[in-house]
Amino acid sequence: PEVWIENTNICNARCLMCPRDKQTRPQGVMPLPLYEKIITEVAAREDAVRRVHLHNFGEPLVDKDLARRARLAKEKGVRHVYFVTNASLLTEPLARELIGSGLDEMKISFYGTDPGPYNRTMVGLDFDKTMANVRAFFRLRREAGSTKPRVVIQYLPQDSNAGRISDFAALFDGLIDRSL
């Protein structure tokens, strides 16, 4: 089984294709004690939850306790801890925390091959800043001698960036370890 836990529904972007802004529920970050209760119950299940997904409609890196949440899930015996991020908040200190947390995988949504299409699609984010964060993450992971978390970089063709898939692949060439 797999469990999705939305640690936050706050997001720092307004991506053109995302329905998050149509939601009317209050925005916030899940209190850590509630998360600890949930993850303890999930880990104690007899049918052994294999995967915990720490994401839904928010940007998980908004949560200051994200690395702690990943570490706690791993300590409780969850086999695979995962989330999806836009990486705009992936600072070097946070990258180090995530690398050391036991996080198994993260998917980075990166919808553009240069500032124009990226900034028009991922409204509120900055191509150059996010790309620098991604490059720094890979450098730090390499320096730590780690292969985790495994990273998947996701590209979603839109009117502004369709036909640029080979440019996208080239943008991350040399960063992605295809053997993982």
CA atoms within a 13 Å half-sphere pointing along the CA-CB vector of 140: 18
Predicted local distance difference test score (pLDDT) of residue 156: 76
**Cβ(54)–Cβ(70) below 8 Å:** yes
pLDDT of residue 146: 94
% of the chain at pLDDT higher than 90 = 55
pLDDT at 13: 84
Q: What is the mean pLDDT of residues 20-46?
A: 87
Of 99, 116, 113, 111, residue with least CA distance to 151? 99
Q: Using the predicted structure, report yes or no on whether residue 132 has a pLDDT greater than 90.
A: yes
Cα–Cα distance for residue pair 43/146, rounded to 1 Å: 25
Would you place residue 46 in the very low, low, confident or very high pLDDT band (cuts 50, 70, 90)?
confident
pTM across the whole model: 0.88
| Pairing status of strand 105-109 against strand 122-123 | unpaired
Average pLDDT of span 146-163: 79
DSSP characters over 88-142: TT--HHHHHHHHHHT--EEEEE---SSHHHHHHHEET--HHHHHHHHHHHHHHHH
Dump pLDDT digits (tens) for 83-127: 999 999 999 999 999 999 999 999 998 888 889 888 888 889 999
Given pLDDT bands bounded at 50, 70 and 90, which one contains residue 64?
Answer: very high
Assess whether pLDDT exceeds 90 at residue 179: no
Q: For residue 59, give the 3-state DSSP assignment.
A: coil
